Structure 1
Amino acid sequence: MQSPDDAVPGQPADRSRPGSETGATVGVSAADPATGRGTESDPDPVIARIPEQSGERSPVDVPIDTAVPADERRSTAVRSISALFAVLAILVTLVHVFFVFLHVAPNNTLTQDYRKPTGTWIYPYFEQNWALFAPNPMSENFRVQAQSRVRNADGTIVESDWSDLTGDDLKHIRGNPYPSKADQNMIRRAWSSYADAHDAKDESAIGARGPLTQNYLRRIVVHRFQDAGANRSVESVRVRVATTPIGRPDAKTKPETSYRMLGWWETKPDDFR
């Protein structure tokens, strides 16, 4: 039998010695008693065997891999981004609920302090109306109609026929799953504001908002005629409102329509802006 010391260089040593198949051997140099260091001249180093336990690998054979798998890094990034979006969504929701609360809350010091930012956040897409909780059904329908005087190229003035502005808005609303807020509310609210700020008998202004509501209604009418192709040739406009009471379903007679006619309003340069 060949001993490890007699092995030929370049050839593996004979592993048939007893105990060699059950454990690993580690060569340890004999230590000098005086210095505690190994001596290089010792021809026969001490052989210490480290027993191996069943089913376990030697610590020296365990690979050390500190790299994080790509799937795990991607999963961590997705979770971080999802958490960020969740936090942002919660913050936006809280801000929205806060402003809606201020908008529908009774008038107080807090609503007065935040009136401007509340209006900026709410209008025109998040408007709330208490009529949803305390309905006040309409008892009549009204249609805003307008007429214009247009100056031709030769200097003559032509008076147009009556245009049904409310009817034009209804055409844009019906059959449209996402109707415009302007089509639904602009002309209706403009007239309601004017009617609340003016006497129905002589059209005199009631309070300081009277001239403002008149200018607002006139500009809307001028813009409607501009959209119809009149451009800046509109000299003046006139408004009338046709009001029809809502009758009972079993009524035998049709309710009569009444008209409220306003005077001619001359256009101003700011009306065409």
Structure 2
Amino acid sequence: MSIGLLASTAVVLATALLVHVTMIFLTLAPANVLKTRDQALIDSYVQPEFGQDWKLFAPNPKQRNDAIGVRLRTTGAHRVQHVSGWVNLTDQDVTAIKGDPAPSHTSQNMLRIAWDNSEALHGPDNQPKGVRGVVAGAYLKRIVLQRVGHRWRGETITAVQIAGRYTMVPPPSWTGEETPDTTTYRVLPWWPVTGQDYKGL
């Protein structure tokens, strides 16, 4: 291979690397003239292969604590129905990683993201917003059923009711701000459970 070809290849690779680093930098950088002017070009390069869901220069952590729970309707002997108490699935996830030197947040993140997606794709009346809302609700239900299993205390699960509890994260003591003391809830309607919901679990 000639020196000229090697030099040309090096220039092409260096240019490609420079373009890539510049595009990633611009997509993460705070708003500026260049980013505003060329936003469509930047997005067309970065999405979807190099998309980021974090901010390098201005991190935006969650400002509330979410807890997701479920209660179950079951059918026992002589077709008698029972309703369980609330089971705090988020608390189970937190308990599972406490004291673990290398904890995995996979289950916790899966549940939280499924809840967030379902919440965003359902209206205030808890009706799904189109097909994506139906799919998001079914996905959330399957994740919950994966956690609780096919039966609850020896009885067949026939329906689930999922709810979220939101508590604002208290501000740092040095800010002098009041600690919010409000806790809000979102309780979804009962969703029937069939054998199809367990398919593949």
Taking structure 1 as the reference length, the TM-score comes to 0.51
Question: The residue matched to 1:183 in structure 2 has which SS?
Answer: helix
Aligned Cα root-mean-square deviation (Å): 3.1
Alpha-carbon distance change, 226 to 147 in structure 1, aligned in 2, over 3 angstroms: same
2: distance between equivalents of 1:256 and 1:151?
36
AA aligned to 1:162 is: W
1: distance between equivalents of 2:130 and 2:167?
28
Q: Indicate which of 110, 118, 131 corresponds to 1:208.
A: 131
Q: CA deviation at 1:137?
A: 2.1
The structure having more radius of gyration, on CA atoms, is 1
Alpha-carbon distance change, 132 to 253 in structure 1, aligned in 2, over 3 angstroms: closer
Alpha-carbon distance change, 128 to 177 in structure 1, aligned in 2, over 3 angstroms: farther
> For the Cα contact (< 8 Å) 2:126–2:189, is it kept in 1?
no
Matched with 1:268 is: 194
AA aligned to 2:86 is: W
AA aligned to 1:139 is: Q
Q: Indicate which of 32, 38, 44 corresponds to 1:108.
A: 44
Q: Going by fraction, where is helix more abundant, 1 or 2? A: 2
1: distance between equivalents of 2:105 and 2:179?
34
1: distance between equivalents of 2:66 and 2:77?
36
Q: CA deviation at 1:269?
A: 1.5
> For the Cα contact (< 8 Å) 2:150–2:157, is it kept in 1?
no
> For the Cα contact (< 8 Å) 2:128–2:134, is it kept in 1?
yes
Matched with 2:69 is: 145
AA aligned to 1:272 is: Y
AA aligned to 2:109 is: N
How many percent identity over aligned positions? 31
Matched with 1:96 is: none
Matched with 1:162 is: 86
Unaligned ranges ≥5, structure 1: 1-100, 119-126
1:92-107 correspondence runs (5 A):
107=43
1: distance between equivalents of 2:183 and 2:116?
18
AA aligned to 2:181 is: P
Q: CA deviation at 1:180?
A: 2.6
Alpha-carbon distance change, 217 to 231 in structure 1, aligned in 2, over 3 angstroms: farther
Unaligned ranges ≥5, structure 2: 1-20, 28-41
Paired positions, count: 160
Q: CA deviation at 1:221?
A: 1.4
AA aligned to 1:148 is: L
Q: CA deviation at 1:253?
A: 5.4
AA aligned to 2:193 is: T
2:132 is aligned with 1:196: no
User: Hey, which bits of structure 1, 4+ residues long, moved more than 6 A?
Assistant: none
Matched with 1:233 is: 156
Matched with 1:259 is: 185
Question: The residue matched to 2:161 in structure 1 has which SS?
Answer: strand
2: distance between equivalents of 1:193 and 1:232?
30
